[in-house]
Structure 1
Amino acid sequence: MSDPAETSRTEGTGARWAGTLRREAGAAGRAVRAAWSGPGRERDLVVQSLKATLAAVLAWFVASDWLSDPMALMAPWVALVLVRTTVYGSLRQAAQQWTAICAGTLLASAAQALTGDTLGALALCVPPLTLLAHWPRFGDQGVYAATTAVFTLASGAVSGPAVGHRVGQAALGAVIGVAVNALVLPPVHLRDVRENLAALAREAGGTLHAVAAGLADGDWDAATAADWSRAADRLERRHEGLRSARGWSRESLRLTTGPLRALHRVPLDVPPESEDARWGRVTGHVAALTRTLAVAADDDRTPAPPQAAALRIYARLLHLIGDASEAEGERFLPAGIGGHPADGSRAGTKRETERETGTEQETETERETGTEREMEELRARLQDSLRDHAGQGAAHTAVLATLLLQAENLWVEVLPGARRRSRAG
């Protein structure tokens, strides 16, 4: 008779495996649909895999069928792994990998000549080659030195002509891999900058909306403030992703800018790096704001939350800043780059109509002016509340003053028009 506990554990394990398989299948299905539907990271990966296949097939044909080389394996191997995410990266890693392969081939052949035994040669050459793999100049290609040595000794081809064939095939594969990556739809990672900027702006707006909703309801405590602080931490991680995407963008334009402009394959009007700094400051202000609220909600700390009426006014101000932040996120993704209307298809139709009639810019300016006018009124009311709080002691006044300062910092950064008028004033 089977043990019920054991049966239950088995069924639980099976259910977990089934759930994992369903999630993985769902993720794979979503990736396929995304690659099919339009430009994006998934389609970029498909293109890169097809290019790698093309490079390997071409290298095999040239080495085996055209040159009739008995060691044709090296060329497609090297060509395959050198179809990288940027052309500059392919070129740099081609030099690193070819150097590593040369080192592994030569040292393995020398060790075999000294020891006359494959096992002894392996024990002699692999330790220094493994250490060499950690040399920063090799990047992540240093491991090919040791693997090439193992392959050389396992094949038994350690003569002078064999070494020459292997090194020559590695050079051929490197040339073909770099050429395919550079000439066939060269990868450019400008979309990632736009997507990360848009996501950062929208997530900042979402965090401000969450804080505004909690303050307006008055139902918030230390746990709620901790949730807001975690949301601010996620914003910082998103900003780190933006910095990484900007680095990929700069590298992907090296050696490819001219040809791509001639082909008009991708738009090169990527948002300037000043936008990265701007939204980095927004991230910092949101983090400071949530820290202030966390301190105010801590019963063991001296600062205390402001009065509920002042917090409701402040919540409305944060809500307007959050709206502006989300609108800025939409502007980073124009049509054709992956943008979508913020208010659904009808909003998109309205926006297209405005664009056709030439009234979009006027409507947007009027909307921003109305928002700024309401924000000015809310700030004036908060300043009056700050004076009222000053008569009630420093504990409430310090928190409200700090919150107001962070809101003004966010206002100036999120609304570019307000920032220009503030500087002009």
Structure 2
Amino acid sequence: MAGEGAGQRTEAAARGWPDRVRQWWLRARGTAGYERYTLLQVLKSTLAATLAWVVSYYLLDSPSPAFAPFSAVLIMQVTVYQSLLQSLRYLGAVAVGVAMVAALGFLSGPDLLTFVLVALAGLTIGRWPALGAQGPQVSTAAFFAFSTYASATSATDKVTQLGQIILLVLIGCTIGVVVNVTVAPPMRYRSAEYGIRSLSTALDDLVSDMYPALRDGELDEERLRQWHRRAEQTGGLITQAKDGFNTAQESLYFNPRRLLRRYRGKHSFEGYGAVLAALERSLYQVSSLTRSLHEWHEEEGSRYDDGAFLRGYADFLESVSKIAEVLGELDEDSLGEQARQLCRLADEARERCRRVSDGASRAGLPLADPARPYGVLVVEATRLMEEFQHCCDVLQRYADQDA
């Protein structure tokens, strides 16, 4: 029976794969997401490899034509800038490896001791930081070059074939860069938006759980511990968002698409960078806020003795949630309207923050007592308000510039 069940599952999976392929294809055609990017990279790499093969095999009649298409595909990076940088590093690594083989080979001949020296030198030089990720290509190129050198029959053939390796790599890198620059060069500016959206959504989800419980006074131990744990776990999201922003900014370098009218004046990433930094600080402030709530609740006999303060604070966090919700839908094409909406919400949040501070003072709460949470809550509310007001001002300024 178990074998029959496994067979049925396999058959069902086999019947379902055409539907999955069709859905993948529809997503690639319909939206500018992961599927379309993957398809585009495959097609561009295929084109670059084919052109490099035609040049190396048919035009140059090289005995080792595979070096060219391999090099062309290797440097098809996510951004034009990375393609240029990695192609220079790769070409330098190959040149060093080949030159090392030529020098050692002509000095001591293609014997085992020479290969040991080539391997030792290549693996050592490959750790040079200037070569970056292409460091291992020094030893790889050296091994291929040594094989070519050892099989050549004359000194002239040895020099010619070693020089041809560098020429083929140069051809492959050049074709790869040209294809990446001229055929739909990757413009990853949306990565900056995705980073802001991910942090905003995490903030919105957390704060949206907090303010109803604060309003109703439902602050049990388990809930407070979960809030604090969730706030502390946003570090990974922050790192990913920063990486996405860096990729988006890097995709502009040497990219001809930035010259098109559609992109003019719209990709000064200072605005998005400032918003991302503000969201990062906001998440740290919320983490401090949740830690204060949790630590106070853990103390024996602790009580939140001012329900009006907590209700006012809940109102403020509700405003924060609305701001985070708008930032979680940030879209450059709608930036003007979203910036105006954020400014309206920021004004509302500022008024509620003022009520929190004034209410705490009127109630005579111990704001200066480090053992009580009220002072920390008021301070973090003020800081959160400043961060979101900054987001509003920055986005409004860049929206006005792009109008």
Q: Matches of 1:177 and 1:219 in 2, distance apart? A: 60
Q: Matches of 2:60 and 2:38 in 1, distance apart? A: 31
**Contact 1:296–1:399 at 8 Å: present in 2 too?**
yes
Q: Matches of 1:124 and 1:385 in 2, distance apart? A: 75
- Cα drift, residue 103 of structure 1: 1.6
Give the TM-score taking structure 1 as reference length: 0.76
Write the mapping of 1:260-299 to structure 2, written as runs, cut at 5 A. Answer: 260-264=257-261, 269-270=266-267, 271=269, 272=271, 273-299=273-299
**Contact 2:198–2:241 at 8 Å: present in 1 too?**
no
Give the TM-score taking structure 2 as reference length: 0.80
- Cα drift, residue 413 of structure 1: 2.4
User: What is residue 368 of structure 1 aligned with on the other side?
Assistant: 344
Deviations 1:330-386 (A, max 9, x none): 234546xxx9xxxxxxxxxxxxxxx9xxxx799948x937x8458635742663355
Q: 2:384 aligns with which of 382, 398, 410?
A: 410
Write the mapping of 1:232-271 to structure 2, written as runs, cut at 5 A. Answer: 232-256=231-255, 259-264=256-261, 269-270=266-267, 271=269
**94-103 or 262-271: which moved more?**
262-271
User: What is residue 95 of structure 1 aligned with on the other side?
Assistant: 88
User: What is residue 359 of structure 2 aligned with on the other side?
Assistant: 384
Q: Matches of 2:179 and 2:249 in 1, distance apart? A: 20
User: What is residue 130 of structure 2 aligned with on the other side?
Assistant: 137
- Cα drift, residue 55 of structure 1: 0.8
**Contact 1:129–1:146 at 8 Å: present in 2 too?**
yes
Instruction: Describe the SS at the equivalent of 2:351.
Output: helix
Q: Matches of 1:64 and 1:361 in 2, distance apart? A: 55
Write the mapping of 1:171-210 to structure 2, written as runs, cut at 5 A. Answer: 171-210=170-209
Instruction: Describe the SS at the equivalent of 2:373.
Output: helix
Q: Which amino acid aligns with 2:288?
A: A
| Cα pair distance change 1:29/1:230, threshold 3 Å | farther
Write the mapping of 1:295-314 to structure 2, written as runs, cut at 5 A. Answer: 295-299=295-299, 305-314=304-313
Deviations 1:20-68 (A, max 9, x none): x99xx99999865543331124322321222111111100001111222
- Cα drift, residue 100 of structure 1: 0.9
Deviations 1:283-312 (A, max 9, x none): 232222122222222226x98645444323
| Cα pair distance change 1:179/1:99, threshold 3 Å | same
Deviations 1:89-115 (A, max 9, x none): 111111111111112122234444445
**Contact 1:60–1:72 at 8 Å: present in 2 too?**
yes
**409-418 or 56-65: which moved more?**
409-418
**Contact 2:44–2:183 at 8 Å: present in 1 too?**
yes
Instruction: Describe the SS at the equivalent of 1:176.
Output: helix
- Cα drift, residue 169 of structure 1: 0.8
Consecutive unaligned residues of structure 1, counting only runs of 5 or more, are 1-7, 340-354, 421-425
User: What is residue 214 of structure 1 aligned with on the other side?
Assistant: 213
- Cα drift, residue 120 of structure 1: 3.0
| Cα pair distance change 1:141/1:283, threshold 3 Å | same
| Cα pair distance change 1:227/1:83, threshold 3 Å | same
Q: Matches of 2:265 and 2:392 in 1, distance apart? A: 28
Q: Matches of 2:219 and 2:123 in 1, distance apart? A: 56
**Contact 1:101–1:148 at 8 Å: present in 2 too?**
yes
Consecutive unaligned residues of structure 2, counting only runs of 5 or more, are 153-157, 395-403
**Contact 1:198–1:330 at 8 Å: present in 2 too?**
yes
Q: Does 1:36 align with 2:10?
A: no
**Contact 1:386–1:401 at 8 Å: present in 2 too?**
no
Q: Matches of 1:202 and 1:377 in 2, distance apart? A: 22
- Cα drift, residue 167 of structure 1: 1.1
Identity percentage over the alignment? 25
**131-140 or 86-95: which moved more?**
86-95
| Cα pair distance change 1:165/1:262, threshold 3 Å | same
Q: 1:122 aligns with which of 115, 139, 151?
A: 115
Write the mapping of 1:305-344 to structure 2, written as runs, cut at 5 A. Answer: 305-332=304-331, 334=333
Q: Matches of 1:47 and 1:214 in 2, distance apart? A: 48
